[in-house]
Amino acid sequence: MATILVVDDAKFMRLTLGNMLSSGGHEVVGEAENGLLAVEKYRELQPDLVTMDITMPELNGIEAVKKILAEFPQAKVIMCSAMGQQKVVVEAIEAGAKDFIIKPFDEVRVDEAIKRVLG
């Protein structure tokens, strides 16, 4: 299926999402715990898709998306946010994210978002 970079500052969330993605037939090719590492990992791995947390240290998810898309306009990013962050989700979509999923993750919703973004 798809190669995916999972970006979240919480190891537990990376693990949870990674397991969902793997069981859905995708390959998690890398992980990053902040936006700076996400940009570096994207350059190195150039995955089909990135799942990007919004609130992270060093560089937040929205800034990381802007940096990735500035270098790789074809990049596909799905933002991950907690409930009640609608304003930030809109900002993320405006920054170039293709979709968003809400924490806690629902496996069906995650799979739907990936299918929609990858077309």
pLDDT digits (tens, 9 = 90+) for 21-44: 999 999 999 999 999 999 999 999
**Residues 69-105 as b or e (16 or more Cβ within 10 Å = b):** beeeeebbbbbbbeeebeebbebbeebbbbbbbbbeb
| Residues 66-108: tens digit of each pLDDT | 999 999 999 999 999 887 677 888 899 999 999 999 888 999 9
DSSP, res 84 = T
For the chain, how many helices (H) and strands (E)? Answer: 5, 5
